[in-house]
Amino acid sequence: MTDASTAAPNTNARNARRQRPDLAEQLQQLKTGASADTGADAQAPAEQQPRQQQEQRPPREKKPRPQGQGQGQGQQPRQQQQARKPQAQAQQQQPQRAPRKVNPVLERLFELYPQLFGARFVPLKLGVYEELIARHPEDFKAEDLKIAMGQHARSTRYLESVAAGLARHDLDGNALDPVAPEHVHHAILELHRRRMHRNPGEDLRPQLVARIAKAIEASGLDREAYAVLVRSRDANTNAVVDEALAELAQQAAKREALLRAFEASGRTEQEFADMYGMKPGEVARTLQHARAERQAPAAAVAEPAEPAEAAELAESAEPVEPTEPAAD
């Protein structure tokens, strides 16, 4: 037994000794592993916290892009170009108007009388056609001069000078008699008709009423005489005249009431103006106007001075407005 045991060493005891270090190493490994786990666990919440904060943040609202930015910004010029193409093609297809030719007779009149046929038009004296024929028989033919003078008299610039009530002028540029009230009236109506043709959707009636009212006051006639003088077969035109007359009558009634209040106050014009909060100059002009209306005698119905020009302006169709040579 003894020999057998010495001959065969106990391997179990050696294995046990060898296992002890293994257990110690395992314990050491367990300790080191636990510390590593605790460190990893400590770092995990720190790494997860920003992620949780990002997940908890509300989603950003997408602001709508204003028109003209992004894709629309590049598309808008293209759309505008595409929209302009049909317009440009339509303009190219429309025949261009040829420049209006200037009547050679008007060019000659401008050379002879630039103060009358130049940049500024003024009403011409009645009978100027015959005087031009007498002065320049070699320059003008009767029929050609008649056509040119008709174009000049029907031009908008000439009608504006007549409607403004400027005085008539002779060929030497001297101011003569004022334009007759009926001629001023017909010029105002013709200018209004042309503006209505150019602006069909615009209400120009108040302007017409106000301009006729000023023409009535500038005519020197009373309201009844003016109404009889310019009365026509056109009901619409007569209604405009009646409206202007009614407006003037209302203004005259206000002036008369102011004059009576001034006379009853017993004050000077300055004191009266201060009492009513009015400007002294305005009070003086209004009182003077009211006194003139009170003292004016009933005017007789005035007869037309020269109906030829009025008939020409009233019966003229859409006029051919000449281009003045080198006037503008």
- What is the set of domains in the chain, with CATH numbers? 100-180+305-328 (1.10.1710.10), 203-304 (no CATH)
Mean pLDDT of 254-272: 93
Structure tokens at 214: 């000023």
Q: Which residue has the higher pLDDT, 14 or 172?
A: 172
Mean pLDDT of 158-173: 94
- CA-to-CA distance for 236 and 64, rounded, in angstroms? 57
Mean pLDDT of 138-161: 94
Has residue 102 got a pLDDT over 70? yes
Beta carbons of 192 and 204 less than 8 angstroms apart: yes
Average pLDDT of the chain?
76
CA torsion, points 106, 111, 116, 118, in degrees to nearest 10? 80
Helix and strand counts by DSSP (H, E) for the chain: 15, 2
Nearest to 248 by CA among 279, 281, 293: 293
Cβ neighbours for 145, distance < 8 A, ≥ 6 positions apart: 105, 129, 132, 133
State the DSSP code for 124. B
Cβ neighbours for 276, distance < 8 A, ≥ 6 positions apart: 283
- List, for residues 226-242, the tens digit of each pLDDT value: 999 999 999 999 999 99
Q: Which amino acid, residue 116?
A: L
- CA-to-CA distance for 167 and 220, rounded, in angstroms? 15
pLDDT-derived band at 316 (thresholds 50, 70, 90) equals very low
Mapped onto helix, strand or coil, the DSSP state of residue 324 is coil
